[in-house]
């Protein structure tokens, strides 16, 4: 899976090098968690690389988003707008069914294969505007499929309530349809903000299973802190497992299959898993057959 840099400092090591190219990522969080900042950083990073950027707003208008970017310290966004490297599509207040099924495909036909970065901010109004769960799934699925034809997509999604268990009706469908899901959790305790980022899923790629503190700094945006993050890659467990299996009476085709699988695994993939039990289970499955 080819990776592209996310633009979020500290996030790439947690996603095995970055965001999967031509994938869809949904960023979930409560109001003020930094979802739009995340999305703007992502699209800004592409602009730095010479990629075009498309910002589809389903809520705030273009002027508000630009103003927030400038206030964050990213005034260069104005230059990208002047050079037509960054395109805004303001769909706020529109009939979302009509926009997604009728207007969006025409736009995609003009941009298909452009290898651009696309942001849809946020998906929540679409979910709120439609009662039918079937139609919600149909529209969101169509939206993600169409935008992915243009490039790599990041969508934001509003999280409501205090449980933060990602079970809200407006959250489940987009999370299911997306290739990757990132959860931005934040709360106020004793006058201090507590912010943590967690990667819920990332298809076709390994990713961190832990929660990572992050902060938002003007001019830099979201920064994921290094706590619980190791850049050192070790393969002691996969190598040990391969050596042990090679001594067992396991069919040669199966041994070759395990060699191929273990080649791409790291110690972190086996974290918390009793190695002896795993070996016993594999031997029980194949030895002597």
Instruction: Specify whether 253 is located in the same domain as 208.
Output: no
Instruction: Specify whether 35 is located in the same domain as 119.
Output: yes
Number of domains in the chain: 2
Mean pLDDT computed over 85-108: 92
Q: At 76, which CATH number?
A: 3.40.50.300
- List the domain range (segments joined by +) for residue 244: 236-286
The model scores a pTM over 0.85: no
The pLDDT value recorded for residue 29 is 93
Map tokens 């947690």 to a residue.
14
- Mean pLDDT (the chain) is 89
Instruction: Specify whether 144 is located in the same domain as 254.
Output: no
Instruction: Specify whether 14 is located in the same domain as 98.
Output: yes
Q: With bands split at pLDDT 50, 70 and 90, how would you rate the model's confidence at 229?
A: low
Instruction: Specify whether 8 is located in the same domain as 30.
Output: yes
Mean pLDDT computed over 125-149: 92
Whether omega for the bond prior to residue 122 falls within 30 degrees of 0, making it cis, is yes
| 245 C-beta neighbours (distance < 10 Å), count | 19
Asked whether residue 231 is assigned to any structural domain, the reply reads no
Instruction: Specify whether 217 is located in the same domain as 272.
Output: no
Asked whether residue 274 is assigned to any structural domain, the reply reads yes
pLDDT over 60 at 173, yes or no? yes
Instruction: Specify whether 261 is located in the same domain as 208.
Output: no
Spatial CB neighbours of 213, under 8 Å, sequence gap ≥ 6: 194, 195, 196, 197, 224, 225, 227
Mean pLDDT computed over 128-151: 93
The pLDDT value recorded for residue 165 is 64
Q: Which helix (H) or strand (E) holds 128?
A: helix 124-129
Instruction: Specify whether 213 is located in the same domain as 251.
Output: no
pLDDT over 90 at 288, yes or no? no
Mean pLDDT computed over 254-258: 86
Choose between 11 and 92: higher pLDDT: 11
Instruction: Specify whether 157 is located in the same domain as 66.
Output: yes
Map tokens 């992502």 to a residue.
42
Compute CA 143 distance to the chain's CA centroid, rounded to the nearest angstrom: 16
């Amino acid at each position: 899976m080819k990776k592209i840099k996310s633009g979020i400092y500290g996030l790439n090591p947690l996603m095995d090098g970055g965001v999967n190219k031509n994938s869809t990522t949904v960023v979930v969080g409560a109001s003020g968690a930094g979802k739009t900042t995340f999305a703007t950083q992502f699209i800004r990073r592409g602009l730095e690389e010479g990629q075009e950027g498309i910002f589809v707003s389903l809520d705030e208008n273009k002027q508000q988003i630009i103003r927030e970017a400038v206030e964050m310290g990213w005034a260069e966004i104005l230059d990208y707008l002047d050079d037509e490297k960054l395109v805004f599509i303001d769909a706020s207040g529109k009939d979302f069914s009509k926009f997604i099924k009728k207007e969006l495909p025409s736009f995609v036909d003009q941009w298909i294969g452009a290898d651009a970065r696309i942001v849809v901010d946020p998906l929540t109004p679409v979910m709120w505007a439609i009662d039918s769960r079937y139609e919600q799934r149909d529209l969101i699925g169509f939206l993600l499929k169409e935008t992915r034809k243009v490039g790599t997509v990041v969508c934001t999604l509003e999280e409501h309530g205090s449980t933060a268990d990602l079970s809200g009706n407006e959250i489940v469908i987009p999370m299911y349809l997306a290739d990757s899901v990132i959860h931005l959790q934040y709360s106020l305790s004793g006058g201090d903000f507590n912010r943590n980022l967690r990667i819920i899923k990332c298809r076709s790629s390994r990713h961190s299973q832990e929660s990572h503190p992050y902060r938002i700094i003007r001019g830099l945006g979201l920064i994921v802190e290094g706590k619980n993050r190791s850049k050192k890659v070790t393969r002691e467990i996969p190598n040990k497992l391969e050596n042990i299996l090679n001594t067992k009476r396991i069919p040669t085709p199966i041994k070759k299959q395990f060699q191929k699988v273990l080649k791409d695994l790291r110690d972190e993939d086996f974290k918390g898993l009793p190695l002896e039990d795993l070996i016993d289970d594999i031997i029980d499955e194949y030895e002597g057959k």
